């Protein structure tokens, strides 16, 4: 059965009051080429009362303290991005669909409605990569609604994006200002010394990645935590367990030669390492440092989960040292922000504590949140989410296999879940 989404024409939404103009600098982390993307996300809510109208009004008011978001990304010289505070506004789309959320399985994956119907697009003549934010509110016949956002990674990291969306919700619920005041201060983060370019990376090859979703129960995660405790007399986190499991299952499923190097990457929030430079809260720019682990495929495939978890924990313990070395220009390795391309690389990202599930426009928190960058085909990825209530545990969204390897991964995962 097909359903029809009726989108009104996109419109510019500007700040509710006059805001400052001029240019704002970006930090060295904001200017990394890898973040010059729009991150697409959908938040699904069970009920609302004229939500598009309420959210639109709140977004306009949120753009007063968050006035850079209504500006544009500019590039006065190659690689040196800035924000032009033009006050032009953000693109906002109102939409409705002739079905209930139940009819489309609450927009769980696989999506019954195409992604393109749920997120906003600017008119063809607009350069989307210069935009900082777009939003679409789609209302369903049951009274539920979905908020599709496209946020520029140049301006927001995950915590920053959730902070902004929560601020819109706070204003929609009646607060005069966001509960956490936004802070720009990108220029307080020092840039590492310019380094001579390392070896050029080979050109990126696109893969035909398949999407899959796994809900991992808490008791299965706890069983591995207990095993780790028994064997090492130390605790490990849910992130450690699931990352080790995903990396190991993927390596086994693909059957890499034992001597091949496999890579694991994850980004760590480093706000605490910049405490003297950044305020305790409110900063919404990129503030993460990527950590990479390299090991032989044979080691990852044949080791116990405890050994793989130890590799991950060792890498996490080195983050502060590695980051400070990088900031001081003492890192002689390849740029840490350049992910090694290739099928042997897996990047994991933990969305559970970023704050997207706490966004509330006045009718409760989302029943679920899902990222939608399904057109990213260069690096294999896994994203960790909280499963829809009342489920406990972790939802693993994978986009890390071509079709031939998916059945073997499913089989490996079933041993774990």
Alpha helices (runs of H) in 213-355, residue ranges in sequence order:
218-232, 238-254, 297-302, 305-317, 319-327
Average pLDDT, rounded, for the chain: 93
Same structural domain for residues 103 and 227? no
Q: How far is CA 345 from CA 82, 254, 297, 309, 381, in A?
A: 31, 12, 11, 17, 9
Cα 17 off chain centre by: 30
Q: What are the pLDDT digits (tens) for 199-256?
A: 454 556 789 899 899 999 999 999 999 999 999 999 999 999 999 999 999 999 999 9
Q: Which residues contact 219 (CB under 8 A, 6 or more apart)?
A: none
Does one domain contain both 142 and 253?
Answer: no
CA 86 to chain centre: 27
Domain containing residue 251: CATH number:
3.30.559.10
Least confident of 139-143, 179-183, 321-325: 321-325
pLDDT at 194 over 80: no
Give the tens place of pLDDT for each residue, 85-112.
Answer: 999 999 999 999 999 999 999 999 889 9
% residues pLDDT > 70 (the chain): 96
Q: At what angle do helices 238-254 and 406-416 cross, to 10 degrees?
A: 140
**What is the residue range of 305's domain?**
209-416
Residues 134 and 234 reside in one and the same domain: no
> Do 92 and 142 belong to one domain?
yes
What pLDDT is stored for residue 414 in this prediction? Answer: 86
Give the span between the Cα atoms of 224 and 228, in whole angstroms: 6
Q: Are both 358 and 399 inside the same structural domain?
A: yes
Residue 193 lies in a domain: no
Per-residue pLDDT at 416 = 78
Report if residue 31 sits inside a domain. Answer: yes
Tokens 């694991």: give the residue: 264
When pLDDT is cut at 50, 70 and 90, the band that residue 408 belongs to is very high
In a domain, 14, yes or no: yes
Q: Kindly tell me if the per-residue pLDDT of 193 is higher than 90.
A: no
pTM for the complete prediction? Answer: 0.94
Cα dist. 302→11, 81, 182, 294, 361 in Å?
A: 55, 45, 47, 15, 48
198 assigned to some structural domain: no
Q: What is the pLDDT of residue 332?
A: 53
Q: Would residue 201 count as lying in a domain?
A: no
Least confident of 114-118, 205-209, 354-358: 205-209
Q: Which of 119, 154, 188 represents a domain boundary (last residue)? A: 188
Give the pLDDT mean for 143-150: 98
Residue 79's Cβ-count burial label (10 Å; 0-12, 13-18, 19+) is exposed
- Residue ending a domain, among 188, 223, 244, is 188
d(CA 196, CA 358): 43
Q: Is residue 408 part of a domain?
A: yes
Per-residue confidence (pLDDT) for residue 203, from 0 to 100? 54
Tell me whether residue 202 is in a domain.
Answer: no
Same domain, 297 and 405: yes
Give the total number of structural domains in the chain: 2
When pLDDT is cut at 50, 70 and 90, the band that residue 333 belongs to is: low
Could you tell me if residue 237 is inside a domain? yes
CA distances from 38 to 35, 146, 152, 234, 343 (A): 8, 18, 4, 39, 23
Are residues 50 and 103 both part of a single domain? yes
Question: β-strand 22-25 against 80-85: which pairing, if any?
Answer: antiparallel
């Amino acid at each position: 059965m097909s359903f029809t989404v009726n989108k009104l024409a996109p419109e510019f939404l500007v700040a509710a009051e006059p805001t400052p103009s001029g240019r704002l600098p970006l930090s060295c982390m904001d200017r990394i080429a890898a973040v010059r993307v729009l991150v697409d996300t959908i938040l699904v809510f069970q009920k609302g009362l004229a939500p598009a109208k309420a959210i639109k009004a709140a977004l306009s008011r949120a753009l007063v303290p968050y006035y850079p978001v209504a500006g544009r990304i500019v590039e006065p010289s190659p690689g040196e991005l800035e924000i032009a505070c033009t006050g032009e506004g953000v693109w906002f789309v109102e939409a409705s669909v002739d079905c209930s959320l139940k009819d489309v399985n609450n927009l769980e994956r696989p999506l019954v409605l195409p992604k393109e119907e749920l997120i906003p697009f600017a008119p063809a003549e607009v350069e989307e990569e210069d935009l900082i934010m777009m939003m679409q509110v789609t209302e369903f016949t049951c009274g539920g609604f979905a908020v599709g956002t496209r946020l520029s990674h140049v301006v927001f990291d995950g915590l920053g994006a959730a902070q902004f969306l929560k601020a819109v919700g706070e204003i929609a619920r009646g607060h005069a200002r966001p509960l956490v005041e936004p802070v720009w201060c990108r220029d307080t983060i020092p840039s590492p010394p310019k380094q001579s370019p390392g070896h050029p990376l080979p050109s990126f090859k696109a893969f035909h990645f398949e999407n899959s979703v796994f809900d991992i129960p808490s008791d299965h995660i706890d069983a591995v935590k207990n095993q780790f405790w028994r064997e090492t007399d130390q605790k490990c986190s849910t992130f450690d367990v699931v990352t080790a499991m995903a990396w190991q299952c993927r390596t086994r499923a693909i059957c890499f030669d034992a001597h091949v190097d496999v890579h694991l990457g994850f980004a760590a929030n480093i706000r605490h390492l910049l405490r003297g430079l950044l305020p305790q809260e409110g900063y919404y720019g990129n503030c993460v440092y990527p950590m990479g682990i390299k090991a032989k495929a044979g080691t990852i495939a044949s080791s116990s989960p405890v050994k793989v978890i130890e590799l991950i924990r060792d890498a996490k313990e080195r983050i502060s040292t590695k980051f400070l070395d990088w900031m001081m220009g003492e890192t002689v390795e390849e740029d840490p922000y350049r992910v090694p391309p290739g099928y042997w690389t897996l990047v994991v990202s933990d969305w559970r504590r970023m704050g997207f599930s706490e966004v509330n426009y006045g009718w409760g928190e989302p029943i679920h949140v899902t990222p939608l960058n399904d057109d990213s085909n260069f690096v294999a990825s896994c994203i960790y989410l909280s499963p829809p209530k009342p489920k406990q545990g972790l939802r693993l969204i994978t986009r890390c296999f071509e079709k031939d390897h998916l059945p073997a991964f499913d089989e490996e995962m079933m041993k774990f879940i």
